Structure 1
Amino acid sequence: MKILTRHRGPKLTRMTGAGNTFFLVDGISGVMNSVDRPSFVRRACRGLAGLHADGVVILEQDSKVDFRWDFYNDDGSSAEMCGNAARCAALFYFAEIQGSSPSHKKIDFQTGAGLVHAVLISDNQVRVELPRLKSLGRLVSLNRQATDLGSAAHARGGRSHEYYLIDTGVPHVVVEAEPDLALAKSIRWAPELGQTGANVTFVHLSDAAVIQAVTFERGVEDFTLACGTGAVAAAALARDKKSGLSTWTVEMPGGELQVEWIGERSAALVGEAHFEFDVQLDESEGE
């Protein structure tokens, strides 16, 4: 399906990865060089009726790798990494820039978190090897915000609580509990996490190598249908608690992802990515 408005602004292609939606823009030609990107992102993600997306990925030229990306959350803030967006960006490059028959099915691209290696497994199945973890997960004591003081499940012991923290390209606090919006908001802005805070991923670990997870994402400021870096964070906690397993299935509301550990500090994320439609913004439209 093609949806094109009267004015010829940069073309956006909406894609989905495990329920996460993103607008992809081919900026390799320089079409985005003079654009106010945060404003553009907010218009694209929040200003088009019925066409919301979780973020925008702009592909740009890089002489050392196939491309580099400039990634934004839907509020116009920048983010270093997004696992589901990485799979969408790879498929977009294979199909839209290389063409319908990719000349090669392995690419490298640069993100704010580091280098990503991507492999096209099938028409819609993409495997991305995420940047090497800078550090392993650890327990940290967080001083939650007052909004959660009434949560019966987590109120015991005062305001300071221990949680599992890991940076999988972006920081995640992983909580073994049922999803709790108030708790997520209070942890997300815990002062120990710095000015930008962290994502909060709630997990349930089964007896098998299967994890149920859902992530409250910063920038979106709500639960999302899926989060690739959240899936890796959930698998990191599971690996620490159940040593010996290297491959995990992570079930999220939007779909299923596979996390494969490659040594101690590297992980690959495998899952589907799909094209939805193209759209162009009316350049005269305000935010």
Structure 2
Amino acid sequence: MKAIKFTKMQGLGNDYVYINGFEEHVPDPSALAKRVSDRHFGIGSDGLVLILPSNKADVRMRMFNPDGSEAEMCGNAIRCVGKFVFDNGLCTKDTVQVETAAGIRIVRLLKDGGEITGATVDMGAPVLNPADIPANLPEGMEGKPFVNCPVMVDGVTYEVTAVSMGNPHAVIFLRGIDSLDLPDLGPKFEHHPLFPQRTNTEFVEVVSRSRVRMRVWERGTGETLACGTGACAVAVACVLNELTERSVDVELPGGVLRIVWDKADNHVYMSGPASKVFDGALSAWKE
């Protein structure tokens, strides 16, 4: 038996188990993700994050969902990665380059009294070409952008805007998001045939030109308190549908993220908190 040290961290309640891959070896991260994510028989989390050496950036991040599937990116998790590597001396710079399956992301750490309390992340340019999201346009919409497209679910037509922020998102604007039955509706979008690699789905209510509210059904996870890439996708979809300005506060159940889609460089910037919850050790892991 070998004990594996871990740190639980959260960004707006989007909580993950983080393991220092510079020191620890995880033989089967998919199986471990299932184990640690269980909120009754495990640690309890929205997934597992491995922080590993990189030959392209300061560190490499791998993220696994509670169902064991590997995701390309996680906006809330990458802020916590920045805090983790700084607090643990893996990188002593205020700006951390993090390699992800969606490419290298730049994490600028935010301090309060010398403590890392959050980060602003350059999330890169949004991907809007349907084939690259990937998303199949509804019949009759071929050759058009996937913006405000009609998608039928359970006999109801929803207007959907598809965006990739390194992972696929379907953004839906509607009123009354608090009353939605996401455990029923979310999986129907996640597994919809228009999304060949499944999709994260954001249900959004516009409050003003500078603020929106959202709930999210995350691919491979379910409803979570926050989704960083989802908030970025929502901000992009808001601009594409002429609903808000390019700088918007996105209110999630776990708190607020500030998202800016910069017109000058076409990059999306996400600012939000990152917190350590506790350290621990998994004492019954067999190689």
State the TM-score, normalizing by the size of structure 1: 0.83
- 1:200 Cα deviation after fit: 0.9
Structure 1 stretches lacking a partner, 5+ long: 1-6, 150-154
Residue 121 (structure 2) aligns with: 128
Secondary structure of the residue that 2:3 maps to in structure 1? coil
- 1:115 Cα deviation after fit: 1.0
Which aligned pairs between 1:1-287 and structure 2 lie closer than 5 A? 8-29=2-23, 31-32=24-25, 35-46=27-38, 49=41, 51-98=43-90, 103-122=92-111, 123-135=116-128, 138-139=146-147, 140-144=149-153, 148-149=154-155, 155=156, 161-177=158-174, 178=177, 179-181=180-182, 182-194=184-196, 196-220=197-221, 222-242=222-242, 245-263=245-263, 265-284=266-285
Whole-angstrom distance in 1 between the partners of 2:188 and 2:245 = 32
Contact 2:80-2:118 within 8 A present in 1 as well: no
Secondary structure of the residue that 2:208 maps to in structure 1? coil
Contact 1:44-1:281 within 8 A present in 2 as well: no
Contact 1:8-1:280 within 8 A present in 2 as well: no
- 1:197 Cα deviation after fit: 1.1
Q: 1:76 to 1:107 in 2, by over 3 A?
A: same
Structure 2 stretches lacking a partner, 5+ long: 130-144
Bigger mean CA offset, 130-139 vs 163-172 = 130-139
Q: 1:32 to 1:271 in 2, by over 3 A?
A: same
- CA distances 1:200-246 after superposition (whole Å, capped 9, x unpaired): 100011223001011001111x2110000111111112112337822
- 1:138 Cα deviation after fit: 2.4
Letter in 1 for 2:260: E
Whole-angstrom distance in 1 between the partners of 2:208 and 2:117 = 30
State the TM-score, normalizing by the size of structure 2: 0.83
- 1:71 Cα deviation after fit: 1.0
- 1:97 Cα deviation after fit: 2.9
Aligned residues: 261
Whole-angstrom distance in 1 between the partners of 2:161 and 2:66 = 26
Whole-angstrom distance in 2 between the partners of 1:70 and 1:187 = 25
Whole-angstrom distance in 1 between the partners of 2:124 and 2:190 = 23
- 1:256 Cα deviation after fit: 0.7
Whole-angstrom distance in 1 between the partners of 2:237 and 2:173 = 9
Residue 152 (structure 1) aligns with: none
Secondary structure of the residue that 2:231 maps to in structure 1? helix
- CA distances 1:123-162 after superposition (whole Å, capped 9, x unpaired): 2021111133232672344353xxx34xxxxx26xxxx54
Contact 1:143-1:191 within 8 A present in 2 as well: no
More strand by share: 2
RMSD: 2.3
Contact 2:159-2:173 within 8 A present in 1 as well: no
- 1:11 Cα deviation after fit: 0.9
Whole-angstrom distance in 1 between the partners of 2:250 and 2:39 = 32
Whole-angstrom distance in 2 between the partners of 1:243 and 1:163 = 14
- 1:284 Cα deviation after fit: 4.9
Whole-angstrom distance in 1 between the partners of 2:202 and 2:246 = 20
Secondary structure of the residue that 2:194 maps to in structure 1? helix
Amino-acid identity (%): 28
